[in-house]
Amino acid sequence: MNPKIICLLAALSLALSGSVLAAGSKTYQITGTVVEATGSKVTVEKGTERFEFDIDPATVKGSAELKVGSTVTVTYVMSATKIEAGATSQVPSAQSSP
């Protein structure tokens, strides 16, 4: 299968995932070289940085056909899986000038 089609399928899957539609999250894109690919994740290298993305095999058909060395564009969202509140700090209130 053509790598461009696979990339489009991956991007479409991320765009149509329930969390994206529910949250209305901002989407981001990265274009780089595949350095590792399995049915559940893909690692993309851009310059000296590596980015690892989880893939939902149920929604991205052909993700197992990603080839190491191919150039891909991944569209993704940042999504928090857990948020913990830290120590409470007091924010000084704004003082009004006379």
Residues 24-49 have pLDDT tens digits of: 678 899 999 999 988 788 899 999 99
- Under 8 Å CB-to-CB from 15, ≥6 apart: which residues? 27, 75
Q: Please say if the pLDDT value at position 97 is more than 80.
A: no
Determine the Cα–Cα distance for residues 23 and 21; give it in Å rounded to an integer: 6
Residue 98 is assigned to a structural domain of this protein: no
Global pTM exceeds 0.75: no
How distant, in Å, are the alpha carbons of 16, 41, 42, 43, 79 from that of 37?
22, 6, 4, 6, 22
Residue 56 is assigned to a structural domain of this protein: yes
For residue 50, the domain's CATH number is 2.30.30.140
Residue 65 is assigned to a structural domain of this protein: yes
Residue 21 is assigned to a structural domain of this protein: yes
Strand order in 49-54's β-sheet? 49-54, 41-46, 27-37, 71-77
Q: Six-digit token pair at 3?
A: 């790598």
Residue 85 is assigned to a structural domain of this protein: no
Residues 70-86 have pLDDT tens digits of: 998 888 888 888 999 88
Residue 33 is assigned to a structural domain of this protein: yes
Number of domains the chain contains: 1
Residue 73 is assigned to a structural domain of this protein: yes
Boundaries of domain holding 29: 3-77
